Amino acid sequence: MAAYSSLKIHLDGLIGEYRVKYPYAKFHVTGHSLGGAMATLFTSELSMTGLKVTLVTVGAPRVGDSNFYDWFSKL
């Protein structure tokens, strides 16, 4: 979470710019290992804003507990 939090301000700025510049774009978030875990967290936040996002991770550690999994699966 600390690694994700250190990047979040930059990610929020970039996604804001991209949403304005490419309003009809499809967003794909990817990550490997720790990046996959961070991609999962970022995707959950983007999905909560109503943005449709595709997530692909490889070799990522588990993020959250069973409650998080159930909630995330419904996004």
Measure the CA angle with vertex 31, ends 49 and 22; round to 5°: 45
Give me the phi and psi of 60, to 5 degrees please. -85, 145
**Residue 1 predicted with pLDDT over 90:** no
Q: What is the pLDDT of residue 11?
A: 92
This model's pTM is above 0.85: yes
pLDDT digits (tens, 9 = 90+) for 12-68: 999 999 989 998 989 999 999 999 999 999 999 999 988 889 999 999 999 999 999
pLDDT at 74 over 90: no
Q: Are 75 and 41 in contact (CB under 8 A)?
A: no
Q: Is 47 exposed, middle or buried (0-12, 13-18, 19+ CB in 10 A)?
A: middle
